[in-house]
Structure 1
Amino acid sequence: MRIEGGKVAVEMPRSSSRKGRRRKKEAGAPPPAVQRLFETCREVFFGCAAGVVPSPEDVGQLKAVLDDMKPADVGLAQTLPYFLKDNAKGAPPVAYLHLYECDKFSIGIFCLPPSAVIPLHNHPGMTVFSKILFGSMHIKSYDWVDVPQNSVETETTSHSCEIPPKVKLAKLKKNSVFSAPCETSVLYPMAGGNLHCFTAITSCAVLDVLGPPYSDAEGRHCTYYKDFPYSSFSVDKISMAGEEGEHAWLEEIDKPDDFVVVGAKYFGPKIVVQ
């Protein structure tokens, strides 16, 4: 054993090293989990485009791969600096680790310190898989409800006025705390909670697969929203069961100033593209 550049280096006989590599090759060692994830994504999203949902079999296949993934599979530990909450005022920043992106899908990890928030936002034309690798977070999600715009009036003032054009009705899909280990969440272009918000209860990491990814050039913009109780507005000639608590009004807003995402280096196993 010798020291090189302050690091401990262990010397092994060359013949043993070659034999070890040969035994590993002969044994057919499985690829790293992140490589299996990449290859599965490439198969599942090969023939898909915006708004095209993979088959139930393909969705199940990709979900199964993600369900089995652990923090160590992507080189994560809760002691890493981007999971630590500092004492600065305001919402803590969210770190994003980029693993892979092409025109068919993207793979990345959001790292949230305690109390960090990813605001309510949409996923236009996308099928999205979200796997909580560790930690606990509150997830709130909605799907759009089609309501004729001319059938809506406000009840928030004593006189009638037109509803803002960027306010639409949505149905609540999730409003609960989820903790690892738990199943991968899947949302679809028109169902499953396409619009969602994450609030970190503890430090947590979320592995995200988007198919296809956001693309301003192709009209898949990330839009942010603010939700209002269903009682804020009335719907004329529209009958819904269990409106209050099950529906809400979403207003399109600019990206919140206090929502900061910083790019961070991914140190896990590399994805090999062949």
Structure 2
Amino acid sequence: MRAEGSLASDRELASERSRPSSERSTKRQRSSESMTTRVQMLFETCREVFADGQAGNVPSPEDVDRLRFVLDNMNALDVGLAESMPYFRNIESGGTPPRITYLHLCECDNFSIGIFCFPPSGVIPLHNHPGMTVFSKLLFGSLHIKSYDWVDIPQDSNYAIIPAHSVQPPGVRLAKVKTDAIFTAPCETSVLYPADGGNMHRFSARTSCAVLDVLGPPYSDSEGRPCTYYNDFPLATFPAAAVVAPGEDEDYAWLEEREKPDDFIVVGARYRGPRIVES
């Protein structure tokens, strides 16, 4: 069988060489286009995982693992990024927070894919993801993430409790810290859900870094999924409003809605990595 395969290969090679150069070039181009890039694989997986497209509908654990696996195996080269690119340089002066660059890969009704490019000290303020499941993959660099989930006041003494005789302070809501840590690439993809997993989070770049984000479904003001920003205050800010188990004060905070910070600037730039074919 090997010999026959070898002879067949020789005949195919001779036949290929006899073809006009333009025809050989076209064949190579088609072969190259048929190769599935990791970005294309990500797109196809997102299309399957978020096929339902409804806000609040969480993908099955199997689908979450499947999409996370694709992202876990991606790096900056897969999306055409390098740390030497201008997106990752801090060119601001006078104490102005550095601008974040957003590279748009694709968006449809069911999901969106994009990349946030951070210079050192770049910050995306605390914000929410209403009715959304979000996958965030740190492609390179080091990033501090602090995230919260809302606390629905339970009757369990292991959680924060608002005493019956007090009133929750107006304009604020109790939240529990989900994550407060520094992540350095390579690391696993983080996932947040509509009601847990750290639905409100803040990204603070320790070094230049890039975050590949998948949102399902994407933000939409018209469909009731606007992006809301928050200030966070220590639990002790309103000492009479809530009590927690001893030593757990730092696990909780009060969140207050705010306008988008004036000094938070995101600029769009053209994505120049491997293209996505939306057939």
The TM-score with structure 1 as length reference comes to 0.85
Deviations 1:165-222 (A, max 9, x none): 3210000011111011000000000111000000000000000000000000011010
Structure 1 position 86, deviation (Å): 1.5
Q: 1:1-274 residue pairs with structure 2 within 5 A?
A: 15=20, 18-19=23-24, 22=27, 30-89=35-94, 90-147=96-153, 151=162, 164-234=169-239, 240=245, 242-274=247-279
Of 201-210 and 237-246, deviating more is: 237-246
Contact 2:234/2:253 (8 A) holds in 1: yes
Structure 1 position 17, deviation (Å): 6.2
Contact 2:169/2:238 (8 A) holds in 1: no
Identity rate, percent: 61
Structure 1 position 22, deviation (Å): 3.8
Contact 1:120/1:225 (8 A) holds in 2: yes
Q: Secondary structure at the match of 1:72?
A: helix
Contact 2:167/2:241 (8 A) holds in 1: no
Deviations 1:75-121 (A, max 9, x none): 11111111001141210000000010011000000000000100000
Structure 1, gaps ≥5 residues long:
1-12, 154-160
Distance 1:271 1:203 in 2: 26
Contact 1:152/1:234 (8 A) holds in 2: no
Distance 2:31 2:87 in 1: 40
Pick closer, same or farther for the CA change 1:14–1:138 going to 2, 3 Å. Answer: farther
Distance 1:91 1:27 in 2: 42
Q: Secondary structure at the match of 1:208?
A: strand
Structure 1 position 146, deviation (Å): 1.6
Structure 1 position 15, deviation (Å): 3.7
Runs of 4+ in 1 over 3 A off after TM superposition: 13-30, 150-153, 161-164, 234-243
Please give the root-mean-square deviation of Cα atoms over the aligned residues, in Å.
2.6
Structure 1 position 147, deviation (Å): 3.4
Contact 1:35/1:272 (8 A) holds in 2: yes
Structure 1 position 30, deviation (Å): 3.5
Distance 1:246 1:165 in 2: 21
Q: Which has the higher strand share?
A: 1
Distance 2:242 2:138 in 1: 41
Pick closer, same or farther for the CA change 1:239–1:230 going to 2, 3 Å. Answer: closer
Contact 2:132/2:216 (8 A) holds in 1: yes
Larger radius of gyration: 2
